[in-house]
Structure 1
Amino acid sequence: MDRQTVYPGQIPLETDLLNTNKNMMVALGFLAQDILGINTLVSGLACTPNSPAALNVLVAPGRIYSVQNMDATAYSSLAADLVHSLIKQGISLDTTTLACAAPGTVGYSVNYLIQAAFSEVDANPVALPYYNASNPAQPYSGPNNSGTAQNTTRKDTIVLTAKAGVAAATGSQTTPSADAGNVGLWVVTVAYGQTQIIAGN
């Protein structure tokens, strides 16, 4: 694993911190790949009925492990890296509620595929303080004192969706396949006239 080297009295650069973060991501990503392989895996993300009962399901917190580009877009002043790939971990810390509506035709049912996809987004924009050479006691707000907010976190998360199949006569309905970049987790079946989802669905 690479480590950044800095020296006493050195003027710190943003790349020192950025590369420290990146080096840790690379080390953990390839460790995960050595242990888990390159197939997409999930942990947690249990699916249960809503409480109180309704036409919703709850997907518990969990993780997804998926091969991704090193950096699909620039990471602050570090350039994007679309050449190298590694395992990344997306984390969902909170329970997600997904709606699963009943079909509108008597005698019909519909299957919902609960699917998950890795997502990497830049988030938490803040107008950051910048050094003001002409008056160090009064920092600039944003680059060039523009007041522009800049993202402060690159978040690796999970996008959870309920993909509806085609409603059909009960017993003949089929489950849709997962969308590109997604992995199927659970199937929830909802029948005409149903007003709540139970564990048996």
Structure 2
Amino acid sequence: MDRAIVYAGSIPMDTDFLKAGRYAKEGLGRFAEMVFGVNATAACGLSCSVSTTALEISIGVGSIVAPGVLDANPIGGAGAGLAADETVLSVQYLNSNVQTVTIPTSGIVCTIYAVCQESDIDFDVLPFYNSAQPSQTLAGVSNDGQALPTRRTGTMNFIAATTPPSGPAGGIVVPLYTLVVPSNVTSLAGVTAEAGQVFWPTIPELATMTLLKAVAAPPSIMLNGGTLVIPAWASRIELRAVGGGGGGSTSSASSADTGSFSGSGGGAGGDAWGVYSVDPASSNALEVTIGSAGGQQETGGTTLVSYGGVTLLQAAGGAPGSFYSSRGSSGGGGGAASGGTIWNLTGGWGGDGQNNAYSLSGYGADGPWGGGGRAGADGGMGATKFGAGGGGAYTVASENTVSSGGSGYQGCVMYRFLP
């Protein structure tokens, strides 16, 4: 770290003080690079509170460390000062007061951006040395009474937008939070602000049980497709994908002698499980697709997780129960699985329903946690747990009608981030 040197009896120059400030800024910036990494961005504080009465949020006090330059503009002046210095380093920006931000409209996915820049503030009319009359000072340069800035500070203001705003000269725009705002609402009641990757754990958090608790917490479950944002501390993710269960077969006869009497069960979705490397410093997030439940005589949907455009693992949905002839009904096959680093398990078969004069079980296949649908008179039972198949129907309430097969159950993704 550089430090200015002064000597007893020497006349202090304005650049001595300006250099001291510049050296301090560079020292702090280089230290921040040692902690977070070169070109890293980190935020601390800046809590986000949503309004329950308006489309507004409040951002609390806090700071951001982000890539910047020593001085985008000259500092000091009035015949001296220091020239601009475009040396790249980490720069600290502060938010000293709570700021309120208005969300532009409802029905959008909105990001809260911090627009960070340095500016010269605290203007004052300063006394200057008067060489003509040393006993009297000048009010400003050349006694013109002009106020000059006395402090250069790094600050931020906040913008809510669906696309990133343009960055200021010498500054940076940092995404902080994401909000999914429902259509036709007049407040943010019930809306959660999802923190972005810039909120790193603090050293006390890393030194205590906080991180250990996060790692040891039970896996989270995702029931709808979407995006998983990687926390700053994570380097791996544990994923388990289960495909949707297939639907059970219908019945359209009152007895095995008259036709398609006993429908078969749907197959279970595949099951893939693994651990994968992730990079919180990249802009990539994990994209999740959840396999849908197969309706009667429909195949369940495929569940998959991709990262950086590459599929990590996937689990196909179970096939439906179906009649292969007027008096023959075979259970649906289980969905395949691939990409798992721990296992790739094919889902179980649904039970056969009818073989000529014989009526069999027609039950839906169990998923990883059971829940296969039971075969049912006048309608198969729907599955009750992730990836399970629906039950087949047997008999009909009256001739020339159809009894519905039971629906399979949707797939899911279980996940847990790891250091």
Q: What residue number does 2:185 align with? A: 194
Q: What residue number does 2:4 align with? A: 4
1:1-201 pair list within 5 angstroms: 1-37=1-37, 38-50=39-51, 53-76=53-76, 77-82=81-86, 84-103=87-106, 109-163=107-161, 165=162, 176-177=163-164, 179-180=166-167, 181-201=172-192
The 1-side partners of 2:59 and 2:190 are apart by 13
Is the Cα–Cα contact under 8 Å of residues 26 and 86 in structure 1 kept in the other structure?
yes
Bigger drift between 54-63 and 191-200 goes to 191-200
Aligned residues: 183
Residue deviations 1:17-42, cap 9 Å, x none? 11111111111111111111122221
Greater radius of gyration (CA): 2
Is the Cα–Cα contact under 8 Å of residues 123 and 154 in structure 1 kept in the other structure?
yes
Is the Cα–Cα contact under 8 Å of residues 104 and 160 in structure 2 kept in the other structure?
no
**Code of the aligned partner of 1:78:** L
The 2-side partners of 1:31 and 1:54 are apart by 41
Residue deviations 1:119-145, cap 9 Å, x none? 111111111111112223331111111
Is the Cα–Cα contact under 8 Å of residues 123 and 147 in structure 2 kept in the other structure?
yes
**Code of the aligned partner of 2:4:** Q
Q: What residue number does 1:173 align with? A: none
What secondary structure is seen at the aligned counterpart in 1 of 2:2?
coil
Distance 1:177 1:24, change over 3 A: closer
Is the Cα–Cα contact under 8 Å of residues 101 and 190 in structure 1 kept in the other structure?
no
Distance 1:24 1:189, change over 3 A: same
Provide the TM-score with structure 1 as the length reference.
0.83
Is the Cα–Cα contact under 8 Å of residues 113 and 178 in structure 1 kept in the other structure?
no
Q: What are structure 2's unaligned runs of at least 5 residues?
A: 193-419
**Code of the aligned partner of 2:49:** T
Measured after TM superposition, the shift of residue 199 of structure 1 is 4.4
Whichever structure has more strand as a proportion of its residues is 1
Residue deviations 1:136-156, cap 9 Å, x none? 333111111111111111011
What secondary structure is seen at the aligned counterpart in 2 of 1:23?
helix
What secondary structure is seen at the aligned counterpart in 2 of 1:195?
coil
The 1-side partners of 2:181 and 2:35 are apart by 38
Is the Cα–Cα contact under 8 Å of residues 64 and 90 in structure 1 kept in the other structure?
yes
Is the Cα–Cα contact under 8 Å of residues 122 and 151 in structure 2 kept in the other structure?
yes
The 2-side partners of 1:20 and 1:184 are apart by 32
Provide the TM-score with structure 2 as the length reference.
0.41
Identity of aligned residues (%): 30
The 2-side partners of 1:199 and 1:146 are apart by 57
**Code of the aligned partner of 1:89:** Q
The 2-side partners of 1:17 and 1:102 are apart by 48
Is the Cα–Cα contact under 8 Å of residues 89 and 156 in structure 1 kept in the other structure?
yes
Q: What are structure 1's unaligned runs of at least 5 residues?
A: 104-108, 166-175
Distance 1:39 1:140, change over 3 A: same
The 2-side partners of 1:45 and 1:179 are apart by 21
Q: What's the Cα RMSD here?
A: 1.9
The 1-side partners of 2:57 and 2:26 are apart by 35
Measured after TM superposition, the shift of residue 86 of structure 1 is 0.8
What secondary structure is seen at the aligned counterpart in 2 of 1:15?
helix
What secondary structure is seen at the aligned counterpart in 2 of 1:79?
coil
